[in-house]
Chains A and B, each alone.
Chain A
Amino acid sequence: MSSSSAQSVSILELYPDHLEASGERGNVTALRARLERAGHRVDVVQHTIGRRVPKDADIVVIGNGPISAVRAVHADLIENADALRSLADDGVPFFAVGAGAELLGGGITLADGTVLDGVGIFPFSARRGVPRQVGYIVVESAHGTVVGFEDNASEWNLEAGAVPLGVVTSGGGNGNGREGVISGSSVATQTKGPVLPLNPSLSDAIIRAALERRDVAYAPSTAHAELDRLAAKSREVIVANVKSVFTTI
């Protein structure tokens, strides 16, 4: 039975004090705004060091941060690895950015050769210390053109058979012409910061996957029109300025 009446949707936000260094809070903001404009109630649960990851969530979000922050959350993440993997196994969509995504992957090899193990939700591993990519990025993906800002010195090596989020048409991405990795309905990306506000179709794909699990319908409406119009205009300017943005610095 499909229901389109108002539902409460829970977003689990991992380590907001450590891994939202580049505005990734905006991804939660975007998901919340789109869900609320579709008539749903949103509960955001923040997981911080020392707490237990809850057994239930509809969407899990994690962001980017410096290596010192990655080290700071690492032990807690490993403590909660089983709970996170069980959410992933249940089909809960994850949206993961930068260093947070790397922690949810197979592991991070740092520039000095040491390895931080990950929790294995995404099928890739990261190698730090490669030449840095900074600037606007444009990616052609199954969810349409994804645009945003990247800032990383990290190469993502996907496991055999793993599917990237898309193909880079401008920017660096994983380092081999591809960007990010998907696993079921979960998305990991190197496009840092608030990528979801700029990319409504990606946001909607995650929301749909979350609500389909609960047999709840979701469709953007006129209440979303202004968000979508402003995102489209922002995207136009980013694509137009993709090569020139750094000439002013």
Chain B
Amino acid sequence: MRYIAPVLVGRAVRAVTRARGGGSALPGYIVNKMAPGFIKNVVAQFEYGVVFVLGSNGKSTTTHMLTEVLRGHGLTVFTNPSGANLPQGISSALLSEVSVTAKLKADIGILEVDEAFALELSKTLLPSTILMLNVQVDQLYRFFETEVVADMMLDTAAVATKHVISNRDDAYLSKIGEILTKKAAVVPDVTYFGASAKLVADSAHGLFNAANHREEASTAPLDALAELESWDSTGARIRVGGELADIALPAKGLHYGIDAAAALATAAQLLGTEFDLAKASAAFSSMTPAYGRGELLDFGDEKVEFVMFKNAASLQLNLDALPAAPEQVMVAIDEGTPDVSWLYDIDFVQLDHVDVLTGAKAWQFALRLEHEGIPVGTIEPDLKKAIELMRALPAPATGHKTWVVNYEQMMLARKIIGYGDMEVSF
């Protein structure tokens, strides 16, 4: 009964902050202060333990996929909302689910976790399984060097008690097997996922994973339990063990296919003999698009497709996944992306023009495009006005407009066109 008070206080604060339209971090913070053992007590109730999903890109998408696959197998899954991957966001999410006696009816917790907090959070959340997606050049203004991020993930993986699932095709993460066998302590099993060599070779810009300058590439090829063989606009073909499955993807692109392989490999390890590829495929078929990844939202009589990016890898791979140069394009980028140096690493061959460029960093984006000779219609730093300019364009033949947006501009744009609910549910 000792958690009744903090839970009630947390809920009260949550109600107030939501009513004010504020963020969801504060209530979790207050509960942590009042009852440090609260979260430990809650997660100890998960029969299948806690899974951390780590990576520079694809955390939200993969968490979503894994959650749905496990639900498809009849499990009750607790998960954090897309992007709520900082400590307070995670405890807020737990808080909204538990009863006043700190009971949580779930079989497993699947949590996307920010790399910088993963090791610290593992002390409270005691993850039995770690899934590592990729190490890509990401937020250098925060992490300074990419190998710092790699070590955050690799060090966290070492605390897993049961399973580590890692990317066979990532120059840093593929080292986890070697790293763990060198440690004397109890070693979790290590399983890999990946994309077929042909698929990687055929991709215009590869996988966009970070180069590893500190270690030699492994000479012995690693086996992948789940391997992406092909993808197209409707889905992906993935080999899991000896079995082939054609699955629907919630968003199109090579990286989403790889995320699906990661989710399948993890589900197979977690469920063991209970894993059923047919059930997993069915779960993919009914999956809704993740927030800002291939969603089509209503915009008057037309539709808007959001293409969200947060770094070079996500922008390049999302551009590469476009079937053709989009007919009507808005790009929105603001100071939520503090350092845009990487724009000069992007190949913009997939864009033949941009109609409207908006956000505080619109001029820097336009300057980049001018170096490639890609014409820009109007630069309008104010997002509201930019959206009206897009609305004024004649209806596109494809029926939808394409908005390439960073996270902050996506949230604002959704609000402006009437999708303002900050609480994300799948």
Which residues of A come within 8 Å of B, CB atoms? 17-18, 20-26, 29-30, 33, 65-69, 71-72, 132, 134-135, 149, 151, 153, 192-194, 197-198, 226-227, 230-231, 233-234, 236-237, 241, 244-246, 248-249
Let me know if B144 and A23 touch, CB within 8 A: no
B370 touches A226 (CB 8 A): yes
A to B CB contacts below 8 Å, 26 in the list: A18-B211, A20-B345, A22-B341, A22-B342, A23-B342, A26-B341, A29-B371, A30-B371, A66-B147, A67-B145, A69-B211, A71-B214, A151-B339, A192-B341, A194-B341, A194-B344, A198-B364, A198-B367, A227-B367, A227-B371, A231-B367, A233-B363, A234-B367, A248-B338, A248-B408, A249-B142
Given contacts A23-B343, A227-B367, A249-B142, 12 further A-B contacts (CB under 8 A): A17-B211, A18-B211, A21-B146, A24-B341, A24-B344, A26-B344, A67-B145, A194-B343, A197-B371, A237-B360, A241-B335, A248-B408
Measured between alpha carbons, how far is A153 from B371 in the docked complex, in Å? 31
On chain A, the residues within 8 Å of B368 by CB distance are 26, 197
* Chain A residues near B381 (CB-CB < 8 A): 237
Of the candidates B146, B212, B335, B341, which one forms a contact with A23 in the assembled complex, judged by CB atoms under 8 Å apart? B341
Tell me how far the C-beta of B85 lies from the nearest C-beta in chain A, rounded to whole angstroms.
15
Q: Which of B147, B339, B370 has the most CB of A within 10 A?
A: B339
Q: How far is the CA of A226 from the CA of B379 in the complex (A)?
A: 13
Tell me how far the C-beta of A63 lies from the nearest C-beta in chain B, rounded to whole angstroms.
Answer: 10
Contacts from B to A (Cβ < 8 Å): 137, 140-142, 144-147, 211-214, 335-336, 338-339, 341-345, 360-361, 363-364, 366-368, 370-371, 379, 381, 408
With a CB–CB cut-off of 8 A, which chain A residues contact B341?
22-24, 26, 149, 192-194
Could you tell me the distance in whole angstroms from the C-beta of B6 to the nearest C-beta in chain A? 29
A interface: dominant SS: helix
Cα separation A231 to B339 with both chains bound (whole Å): 16
Flag if A68 contacts B147 (CB, 8 Å).
yes
**How far, in whole Å, are A132 and B344 apart by their CA atoms in the complex?**
24
Q: How far is the CA of A198 from the CA of B366 in the complex (A)?
A: 12
Q: How far is the CB of B142 from chain A (nearest CB, A)?
A: 7
A31 vs B258: C-alpha distance when bound (angstroms) = 37
CA A30 to CA B140, docked complex, whole Å: 22
Q: Given A17-B211, A135-B338, check contact A237 B363 (CB 8 Å).
A: yes
B213 in contact with A66 (CB, 8 Å): yes
A23 B344 Cβ-Cβ under 8 A: yes
Bound complex: CA A236 to CA B339 (Å): 16
Q: Which residues of A contact B370 (CB under 8 A)?
A: 226-227, 230
Select from chain A the residue with minimum beta-carbon distance to B338.
A245
| With A23-B344, A33-B371, A234-B367 as contacts: A241 and B339 at CB distance below 8 Å | no
Main secondary structure of the interface of B (DSSP, over half): helix
Task: Tell me whether A69 and B213 are in contact (CB under 8 A).
Answer: yes
**Cβ contact within 8 Å between B366 and A230:** yes
Chain B residues whose C-beta falls within 8 Å of the C-beta of A26 in the assembled complex = 341, 343-344, 368, 371
Query: What residues on B are CB-neighbors of A20 within 8 Å?
Result: 345
CB distance from B305 to the nearest CB of A (A): 26
- Cβ of A149: which chain B residues have Cβ within 8 Å of it? 141, 338-339, 341
From A135, A151, A237, contact of B140 by CB (8 A): A151
Measured CA separation A245–B334 after assembly (Å): 10
A-chain residues with CB within 8 Å of residue B214 when the two chains form the complex = 68, 71-72
Nearest residue in A to B346 (C-beta to C-beta)? A23
Chain B residues near A245: list those with CB within 8 A. 335, 338
Indicate whether A197 sits within 8 Å of B367 (C-beta atoms), given known contacts A25-B345, A26-B341, A241-B360.
yes
- Bound: A192/B360 CA distance, A: 20
Contact B213 A18 (CB under 8 A): yes
Which 10 A-B residue pairings sit nearest by Cβ, starting from the closest?
A: A26-B344, A193-B341, A23-B341, A68-B214, A233-B363, A230-B367, A68-B213, A234-B363, A66-B145, A69-B213
**In whole angstroms, what is the CA distance A25 to B144 when docked?**
18
Kindly state the separation between the CA atoms of A31 and B103 in the bound complex, as whole angstroms. 63
Chain B residues lying within 8 Å of A192, measured Cβ to Cβ, are 341
* Chain A residues, CB < 8 A from B212: 68
> Contacts A26-B341, A194-B341: A230 and B144 contacting too (C-beta < 8 A)?
no
Closest to A32 in B: B371
In the complex, what distance in Å separates the CA atom of A69 from the CA atom of B381? 38
- State how many angstroms separate the Cβ of B349 from the closest Cβ of chain A: 14
Which residues of the other chain, A, contact B366 by a CB distance below 8 angstroms?
A: 230, 233
Task: For residue A137, give the distance in angstroms from its CB to the closest CB of chain B.
Answer: 12
Are A193's CB and B144's CB within 8 A? no
Chain B residues whose C-beta falls within 8 Å of the C-beta of A237 in the assembled complex: 360-361, 363-364, 381
CB distance from B45 to the nearest CB of A (A): 35
Give complex CA distance A24, B339 in Å. Answer: 13
Measured CB to CB, the closest approach of chain B to A138, in angstroms, equals 15
Cβ of A72: which chain B residues have Cβ within 8 Å of it?
A: 213-214
